[in-house]
Amino acid sequence: MAGQAPQAAVAYDDAMQFPLRMCLVIGFCQCLAMIPGVSRSGSTIVGALLLGASKRAAAEFSFFLAMPTMAGAFAYDLYKNRDTLKFDDLALVGVGFVCAFIVALIVVRFALDFISRHGFAPFAWWRLIVGAAGLAGLMVYG
């Protein structure tokens, strides 16, 4: 159709089939999140898209890449609070872990389906709206 930008070629549709070199480069993109204000998922998704991944595969890989990060954060938090936790808390932590895991599966599935259909534009608009509202709130309320 006239007036429309050409679609970029997608080289990788399946996150499980990314070459090792590509995974490493995306992992280095994740390191950009150490800069304050840089989104971990945003940096990995953009890195994957620049390397030729489809939107869904880029988002899926970003979720995969988050798993060891979150597991490490959980283990570190558990270690830091080992003196305050009691054996009775083990059941509570277990139930919380299972519930969080189930909800995360549902949300990730929904998010991947949404991204496949609508792309990342709604997320970008949402961030702009919330950011503008936050700045306005700071200007009004200090």
Cα 135 to Cα 142: distance, rounded to the nearest angstrom: 10
Predicted confidence (pLDDT) at residue 8 exceeds the cutoff of 70: no
Quote the domain boundaries for residue 92. 15-141
pLDDT tier at 124, thresholds 50, 70, 90: confident
**Is 133 contained in some domain?**
yes
The residue-averaged pLDDT of 121-141 equals 93
Q: What is the pLDDT of residue 9?
A: 65
d(CA 54, CA 12): 6
> How many domains does the structure of the chain reveal?
1
Task: Please give the full DSSP string across 68-119, using - where no structure is assigned.
Answer: HHHHHHHHHHHHHTTTT--TTHHHHHHHHHHHHHHHHHHHHHHHHHHHHHH-
Does residue 29 fall inside a structural domain?
yes
**pLDDT at position 95, please?**
93
Residue 10 lies in a domain: no
Give the Å distances, CA to CA, from 6 to 13, 31, 53, 57, 78. 18, 31, 16, 20, 50
Answer whether residue 5 is part of any domain: no
List Cα–Cα distances, 11 to 17, 19, 53, 55, in angstroms: 11, 11, 6, 11
**123 inside domain:** yes
Q: Are 63 and 19 in contact (CB under 8 A)?
A: no
Q: For position 78, what pLDDT does the model report?
A: 87
Identify whether 3 is part of a domain: no
Average pLDDT, the chain: 89
Q: Determine the pLDDT at residue 45.
A: 94
**pLDDT bracket for residue 59 (50, 70, 90):** very high
33 assigned to some structural domain: yes
Q: How many whole angstroms separate alpha carbon 39 and alpha carbon 123?
A: 13
Q: What band does 93 get if pLDDT is binned at 50, 70 and 90?
A: confident
Residue 104 resides in a domain: yes
Question: Which of 7-11, 72-76, 94-98 shows the lowest mean pLDDT across its residues?
Answer: 7-11
Confidence (pLDDT) at 86: 86
Confidence of residue 4 (pLDDT cuts 50, 70, 90): low
Which pLDDT value is given to residue 7? 55
Q: What angle separates helix 55-80 from helix 89-118, to the nearest 10 degrees?
A: 160
> Which H helix or E strand runs over 21?
helix 20-31
